[in-house]
Structure 1
Amino acid sequence: MESRLVNALLDERKSDEDILLLIAEKLSLLSERGAMLEEMLRAEFPNETVELMVPA
């Protein structure tokens, strides 16, 4: 199943702004999920240092 972002990229009627808004939405969602994962790991391993890193 294709994502809304892929569909927007393939749809010539979508503006750059529409596509950028979808990218921002995806990044926000990933950030929220990362924060939740960090919290879960810190709760599971309270004596360990938890730091999520995003590859460049």
Structure 2
Amino acid sequence: MSDDQQNFVPAGFEAPTSLVGEGFRLEPLGGQHNERDLAAWGGSIEHIRATPGFGRN
């Protein structure tokens, strides 16, 4: 790296693993979410399939 370039991410930066606010929580999906994620997908499949553009390649 030349002297006029900078790192995009500062040295020592650690990305947050979650973000919690009033009424919501964001976190990366992992194995602990599989059962609820599958239930949500299965319960919404008709809505998902009706979404314009669904199934297009």
Same fold (TM over 0.5): no
Asked which structure has the greater RCO (Cα within 8 Å, sep 6+), the reply is 1
Structure (1 or 2) with the greater helix fraction: 1
Task: Give the structure-1-normalised TM-score.
Answer: 0.30
Structure (1 or 2) with the greater strand fraction: 2
Task: Give the structure-2-normalised TM-score.
Answer: 0.29
